[in-house]
Amino acid sequence: MTNLSQIEKTVSALRAKFGSAVERVDEFRDETTVSVGRDAIVEALRFLKETPELRYTFLAGLTAYDDYPDEPRFKVVYQLREMQSYVNLRLRCAVPGTDPVMPTATGVFLNANWHERELFDLFGLTFTGHPDLRRLLMPDDWHGHPLRKDYRQGYEEVEFTFNFDDIDNKKIYPST
């Protein structure tokens, strides 16, 4: 079976099983992204993993991005792999910024655990039912979520020849 027919079979099976919860299908450069509603995302992942004809048994990646100021603000992206034919499939789930909560996928894919903790830490996304949802990368007393587009960034001026004398170089070059 070719990768194209495997993808077509997968998209057809998702549409048949989940109906309007499959919001859209995007194809770009031979990669397929299926957008699934937040309420159906975990069941769609389970369906793709446990259906013998599909066999997407490996969660290769889980990430998110921020579309601020657009709504729904966040997009959570699951990269799945079917290991016999080496077919990749991306599932995307839109999450509103006013309610950045979605169900955990740890009951389907164990390796979703740390990925979801990272998204909680850096984007402020909450995964209901997660067994250990706490910060992963930032210190416990950190305020905010640094990968949000509205997060205030720190700034340190970069030294160039035109502003060399304006920057406090005594700390770096004590002999000057």
Q: Considering the domain boundaries, does residue 172 fall inside one? A: no
- The pTM of the whole model exceeds 0.75: yes
pLDDT at residue 168 in the model:
63
Mean pLDDT across the stretch 38-61?
97
Q: Considering the domain boundaries, does residue 50 fall inside one? A: yes
Structure tokens at 131: 């067994």
Predicted confidence (pLDDT) per residue in 141-155, tens digit? 999 999 999 998 777
* End-to-end Cα separation, the chain, in angstroms: 70
Query: Is residue 163 very low, low, confident or very high in pLDDT (cuts 50, 70, 90)?
Result: confident
Q: Considering the domain boundaries, does residue 174 fall inside one? A: no
Q: What range does the domain containing 74 cover?
A: 3-166
Predicted confidence (pLDDT) per residue in 5-19, tens digit? 899 999 999 999 999
**Are the beta carbons of 78 and 104 closer than 8 angstroms?**
no
Say what percent of the chain tops pLDDT 90.
80
Q: Considering the domain boundaries, does residue 173 fall inside one? A: no
Q: Considering the domain boundaries, does residue 118 fall inside one? A: yes
Q: What is the CATH number of the domain that holds 67?
A: 3.30.460.80
Q: Considering the domain boundaries, does residue 42 fall inside one? A: yes
Q: Considering the domain boundaries, does residue 19 fall inside one? A: yes
pLDDT at residue 158 in the model:
74
For residue 18, give Cα distances in angstroms to 36, 44, 88, 107.
9, 8, 20, 19
Q: Considering the domain boundaries, does residue 175 fall inside one? A: no
Mean pLDDT across the stretch 62-78?
98
C-alpha span between 157 and 36 (Å, rounded)? 43
pLDDT at residue 74 in the model:
98
**Tally of structural domains, the chain:** 1
Mean pLDDT across the stretch 40-64?
97
As a whole number, the mean pLDDT across the chain is: 91
Mean pLDDT across the stretch 68-95?
96
